[in-house]
């Protein structure tokens, strides 16, 4: 009874959200209200945050452009998160996304995380190179560092800016924090017994880096930034103007040409060609652990966790058929996928396996006995260990 009641509540909420979007859209069409006025109407009486009001206004505009979206929401074919992904993409593509049947169909068949990824990819594909660079320039213009006090009374520093520089800084901090994690005990220590949370390690990493205190290496690895570009973009007849985006920063999106040029001057260049004879990417059963070349290739191919879309810096190489299973999984690029640590544990602990649908969408299913490795023996001290899964 409780589950049924919760299901009915969720259905009512979806119907109300659809009705609200339709009414806001009808009001805008009838009165000619601006987007700002619609936002104010959506957040009237000050009971909603500006962010929530803006989200509802975008939702109503998408429903106004395509009334079927409202019907899909009311009937449960779309969730509010999926509709928001479509509406966000629509606001950045002049309304095109709201009427793109392929995008809508793909989002209907995806979870919330995948929906945001599909919408982001749609914007990148339909924004045009000049639009990509203008977004970078705008974010650079708005860059700033500010200090404030949180609702919990803690002092805080917030940085905002362009995607490329934020990604560079974040990679440095996560590399230092990763070293601190291993120094604290890493996987040999149960998660609940670590002296610091991930957020605390990141804070300590930033403090060390900015103040020069402690050792910012702490056994950390050099941060890796993976950029993809086509041969024609690099060596073809395309112009090299600063307003043209030549490459993509994996996990975030288009990379401005000026930033890409700087990466070329200050980075190790690793060339990866995807093809049937790429021997460094096909190891068979010669080795259990994915090589660095394979991991970089997975990052370039998958972008991030194929299950929840987590950033590739938090991911590991996962064998679609486990190495220790009776079917004897192989360490080949086409039998590996990126999974974040949480999803990696979940897939193994729930005895699931991954497979790809048409359109490169990843799904899970129950593993067969041939795909299920034998259980790991418990540790002598009784503490749960988290060895690196493959």
Of 148-157, 213-222, 260-269, the range with the lowest mean pLDDT is 213-222
Q: What is the pLDDT of residue 376?
A: 65
Q: What is the pLDDT of residue 249?
A: 72
* Residue bearing the bigger pLDDT, 102 or 44: 102
Q: What tokens does 177 get?
A: 């924090």
Terminal-to-terminal C-alpha distance of the chain: 41
Q: How far is CA 369 from the centre of its chain?
A: 32
Q: How far apart are CA 332 and CA 323, in angstroms?
A: 11
Order across the sheet with 227-228: list the strands. Answer: 227-228, 245-249, 253-256
Q: What is the pLDDT of residue 265?
A: 62
Q: What tokens does 218 get?
A: 């702490």
Yes or no: say if 389 and 318 are a contact pair by the CB < 8 Å rule: yes
Closest alpha carbon to 390 in 280, 293, 290: 290
pLDDT beyond 50 at 52: yes
Beta strands 362-366; 352-356: pairing state = antiparallel
pTM: 0.55
Q: What is the pLDDT of residue 276?
A: 42
Q: How far is CA 233 from the centre of its chain?
A: 25
* Residue bearing the bigger pLDDT, 136 or 267: 136
- Centre a 10 Å sphere on the Cβ of residue 323 and count the other Cβ atoms it contains: 17
Tell me which H or E stretch contains 211: helix 198-211
Beta-sheet strands, E only, within 98-170: 144-149, 155-160
Yes or no: say if 178 and 221 are a contact pair by the CB < 8 Å rule: yes
pLDDT beyond 60 at 380: no
pLDDT beyond 80 at 332: yes
């Amino acid at each position: 009874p409780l589950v049924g009641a919760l299901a009915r509540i969720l259905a009512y909420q979806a119907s109300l959200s659809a009705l609200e979007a339709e009414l806001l859209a009808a009001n805008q069409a009838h009165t000619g209200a601006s987007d700002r006025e619609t936002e104010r109407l959506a957040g009237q009486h000050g009971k909603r945050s500006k962010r929530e009001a803006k989200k509802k206004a975008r939702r109503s505009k998408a429903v106004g452009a395509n009334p079927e979206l409202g019907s899909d929401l009311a009937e449960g074919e779309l969730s509010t998160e999926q509709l928001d992904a479509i509406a966000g993409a629509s606001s950045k593509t002049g309304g095109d996304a709201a009427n793109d049947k392929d995008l809508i169909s793909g989002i209907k068949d995806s979870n919330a995380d995948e929906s945001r990824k599909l919408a982001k990819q749609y914007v990148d594909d339909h924004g045009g190179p000049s639009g990509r660079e203008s977004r970078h320039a705008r974010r650079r213009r708005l860059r700033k560092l500010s200090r404030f006090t949180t609702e919990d009374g803690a002092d805080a520093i917030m940085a905002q800016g362009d995607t490329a520089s934020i990604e560079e800084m974040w990679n440095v901090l996560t590399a230092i924090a990763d070293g601190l994690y291993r120094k604290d005990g890493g996987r040999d220590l149960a998660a609940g017994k670590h002296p610091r949370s991930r957020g605390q390690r990141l804070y300590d990493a930033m403090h060390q880096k900015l103040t020069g205190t402690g050792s910012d290496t702490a056994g950390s690895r050099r941060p890796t930034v993976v950029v993809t570009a086509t041969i024609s973009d690099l060596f073809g007849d395309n112009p090299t103007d600063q307003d043209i985006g030549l490459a993509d920063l994996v996990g975030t999106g288009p990379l401005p040409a000026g930033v890409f040029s700087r990466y070329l001057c200050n980075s190790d260049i690793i060339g990866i060609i995807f093809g049937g004879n790429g021997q460094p990417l096909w190891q068979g059963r010669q080795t259990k652990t994915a090589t660095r070349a394979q991991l970089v290739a997975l990052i370039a191919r998958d972008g991030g966790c194929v299950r929840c879309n987590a950033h590739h810096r938090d991911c590991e190489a996962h064998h679609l058929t486990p190495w220790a299973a009776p079917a004897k999984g192989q360490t080949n690029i086409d039998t590996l996928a990126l999974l974040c640590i949480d999803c990696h544990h979940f897939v193994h602990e729930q005895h699931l396996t991954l497979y790809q649908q048409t359109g490169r969408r990843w799904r899970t299913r129950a593993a067969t006995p041939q795909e299920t490795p034998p259980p790991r023996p418990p540790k002598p001290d009784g503490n749960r260990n988290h060895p690196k899964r493959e």
